[in-house]
Amino acid sequence: MLPNFINLLIPTPVTSNPSLFSWFSEDIYVLLIRLGINLAFLTIIIRFLYYPKTKRKDYLFTYYLIGLITFFLCFGLKKLDIDTGMGLGLFAIFGIIRYRTDAIEIKEMTYLFLIIGISVVNALLATQLDKNVSQINLLEIGLINLIVVIVTFVLEYLWLVKHETRKTINYERIDLITPENYELMKADLTTRTGLAINRFEIGKIDFLNDTAQVRIYYYADDQALSDYHVS
């Protein structure tokens, strides 16, 4: 019985039975090239486009690991050539967004979707003719990634130059929350916070304690002050 167990641990050569485990495959080169391309463009998007604008280090950790595991998951499922498995795998990837975590801002959610999408594209695009699959070369993969980077750069740094951020504060001058006192309240908020406020919104009002939650909007880049999420 012991010899049979030992034989199970010894891999059968791929030439004798291709369906069993093998120590080496030519696909390792494809994996390394695709992984290099994926990491290079993820670094451009995360470290050089996203981080300089937001300064949120916690999302650097999140985006890199999600992009990496998404790439490996899709690459592994592709080798199985199982459509159902691929669909369930992608469903699980995008399902993590629904975990009970802290609320994610729309911009961070967009970058998260971008990271996942780039990783899926880099892992799934075919690079050779196999079973009537259209051929796509590494230059085209690089071009797709480059287009995404260029569009992101234009939107982040050229078109949408100023980044409007927000902050929620508790406000006790409840006599100014009426619409006719909008300008007076804005001037009072500007004086107290020292910020050039663009606009503000009144949220929950507590008449028992004479307080109200007010959300103010301002350009953080011009005033070197952002919201509490920045670390």
Tell me: the pLDDT tens digits for 156-205? 888 766 667 888 999 999 999 999 999 999 999 999 998 989 999 999 99
169 within some domain: yes
Same domain as 116, residue 79 = yes
Same domain as 147, residue 67 = yes
186 within some domain: yes
1 within some domain: no
- Match 């290079």 to its residue by tokens: 40
Q: Which is more confidently placed, 140 or 45?
A: 45
pLDDT of 107 > 70? The answer is yes
pLDDT of 78 > 80? The answer is no
Same domain as 140, residue 53 = yes
Domain that holds residue 206: 164-223
Nearest to 74 by CA among 89, 84, 59: 89
Our measurement of the distance from residue 177's CA atom to the centroid of its chain's CA atoms, rounded to an integer in Å, reads: 38
Give how many domains the chain has, as a whole number: 2
Same domain as 187, residue 99 = no
154 within some domain: yes
| Each residue's pLDDT tens digit, 121-157 | 888 776 555 555 555 567 888 899 999 999 999 988 8
pLDDT at 128: 53
pLDDT of 23 > 70? The answer is yes
What kind and span of H or E run contains 75?
A: helix 57-80
Same domain as 194, residue 115 = no
Same domain as 155, residue 78 = yes
Q: Which is more confidently placed, 27 or 134?
A: 27
9 within some domain: no
Same domain as 206, residue 132 = no
Same domain as 137, residue 31 = yes
Same domain as 96, residue 172 = no
Instruction: Give the residue from 159, 179, 197 where a domain finishes.
Output: 159
| 142 CB-contact burial (10 Å; exposed 0-12 / middle 13-18 / buried 19+) | middle
Nearest to 225 by CA among 165, 170, 168, 169: 165
Same domain as 174, residue 130 = no
Mean pLDDT of 94-123: 78
C-beta of residue 159 within 8 angstroms of C-beta of residue 170: no
Nearest to 169 by CA among 145, 192, 138, 136: 192
Same domain as 187, residue 123 = no
pLDDT at 102: 64
What residues have CB less than 8 Å from 70, skipping those under 6 apart?
93, 115, 116, 119, 120, 123
pLDDT of 229 > 60? The answer is no
Same domain as 218, residue 203 = yes
Mean pLDDT for the chain overall? 78
Instruction: Give the residue from 159, 191, 212 where a domain finishes.
Output: 159
C-beta of residue 219 within 8 angstroms of C-beta of residue 193: no
pLDDT tier at 39, thresholds 50, 70, 90:
very high
39 within some domain: yes
Tell me the residue length of the chain.
Answer: 231
DSSP string for 124-179: HS--S--TTPPP--HHHHHHHHHHHHHHHHIIIIIIS-S-EEEEEEEE--GGG-SG
Nearest to 216 by CA among 86, 195, 60, 156: 195
